Amino acid sequence: MYSNSIIDFIRCFTDVQINNGRGFTLVTGSGLYSELLGKKDILSSWPTLLSAVAEISGLKWKEDWKDMDPTLVWESMIISKQLVMYNTTNDLRQANVLEKVMKKDLAHLLKKEWSTKVKVDRAAKAHKMVDVLMRLGWNAVIDLNFISLFHDNKSAKPAGRVHLTESISKSQRNQLCKYYITSSGIPVFHPNGHVVNYSTIRLGYRDYGLQSTALAWAFSKYKSVQHFHRLQENYRYSHSTWINHFMNDNLVFLGTGLSPMEIGLRWALSQKRRNYIKDVSSSNKPINIYFQSSTDKRSQSSIRKLIASECQQLDLNEIKLKSWEDFWKEFG
């Protein structure tokens, strides 16, 4: 069990890669941005963001919403918008139509806020920290945010050759396969969608419910490629979805946990455990999973439960990070 500061982790990062024989994928969420940009910022706080969207949509923010799960708040906002429209214009719009408009408003709000925030001192510090993290040489970044510190937020590239089938929609394919490129050439995936294509943004129960079909498609693709890779030792396959990186690489969770609604990450982590608990060949080197000690205790518990101690191929490690102050002193 590794348990040390993020600075020590960064210092030994290259050695871990060499000794372990696997690369690292960074998994990050709103917690990282909360530390970097402030806990009540539109770019890092769910209540602040959703209350701003509610205002644009002509909704009155309800006091009990601030303590509710963001997904439940989003659903409540959609229903409230339906009722407001019906009561004022006698127009009862379908929920999915209103949700599309609200997603567009949310994306516009984030892009507008981003264009001003990237110029201020705090955001400049955030970019410095991201630059330090990116110099470590990740295989990929899985960013659960809708807008990113890691790239220019302008255009995405398809990840490998992907055949669109009837089992997944275009938005789901984009969530799984499209990626953005950092200045150092590292692919950044956005499983929960991105503001460049607001239809990909995942917020409501409907979006999370439909996710299972897309994940099954991606995992089937991963397994078929994995099988072919084993048959032909020199075959080098393309990481066509974020699932490939999640399954194959060492993982580092920074600024994110496993909230109850992160069904996709929970499912992928469980599949990772299943995949490697049965594969005990000497050539399959253990996978290290690092998580931030300051993340929500329920999230830590979830990770520990999903990665059981009897699974020797998955080594769960803790990075102590009570504050970023030491990081700033060292690298800022």
Task: Name the residue ranges covered by the structural domains of the chain.
Answer: 3-39+121-331, 46-113
Closest CA to 242 of 108, 91, 132, 139: 139
User: What average pLDDT does range 151-160 have in this prediction?
Assistant: 71
**Model confidence at 231, in pLDDT bands (50, 70, 90)?**
very low
* pLDDT: which is higher, 255 or 106: 106
pLDDT tens column, 288-298 = 777 765 545 55
Model pLDDT, residue 170: 79
**Model confidence at 238, in pLDDT bands (50, 70, 90)?**
very low
From 145-159, 167-181, 212-226, 270-284, the region with the lowest mean pLDDT: 270-284
pLDDT tens column, 260-291 = 778 888 888 878 877 776 554 445 566 777 77
Q: Is residue 189 pLDDT above 90, yes or no? A: yes
Predicted TM-score (pTM) of the model is 0.84
pLDDT tens column, 74-88 = 999 999 988 888 777
Model pLDDT, residue 117: 66
**Model confidence at 99, in pLDDT bands (50, 70, 90)?**
very high
pLDDT tens column, 170-181 = 788 888 888 888
C-alpha 201/C-alpha 193 separation (Å) is 4
Q: What percent of the chain has pLDDT over 90?
A: 14
Q: Which residue has the tokens 């400049």?
A: 124
Q: Is residue 54 pLDDT above 90, yes or no? A: yes
